[in-house]
Amino acid sequence: VSQLRKYVSDPSHVIESDDVQVRDDLTVETMPLRIEGREVKKLRNKEIASVKVVWGGPAGENAT
């Protein structure tokens, strides 16, 4: 049984290509806006720190 659903088209999901500046190496410049949270996960022998960052750029927060 598949849990995938069919995509419903929404014109608000379209990003204007004039707003996005893509470099020659196909990267886009983004800037960190704020830090949402910090977390330290403890394993047996080590601790792993993770930080959740909200990124901003020309396309907004919802761009992928």
Has this prediction a pTM greater than 0.75?
A: no
Residues 10 and 21: their CA atoms lie apart, in Å, by: 23
Residues 47 and 26: their CA atoms lie apart, in Å, by: 34
Q: Where do the DSSP E strands lie in 1-64?
A: 31-42, 47-56
Residues in the chain: 64
Q: Is 38 helix (H, G, I), strand (E, B) or coil?
A: strand
Question: Tens digit of pLDDT for each residue in 20-32?
Answer: 677 888 887 788 8
Residues 33 and 38: their CA atoms lie apart, in Å, by: 15
pLDDT at 38: 96
Question: Tens digit of pLDDT for each residue in 9-62?
Answer: 998 888 776 666 778 888 877 888 899 999 999 999 999 999 999 887 665 555
Beta pairing partners, 41 = 48
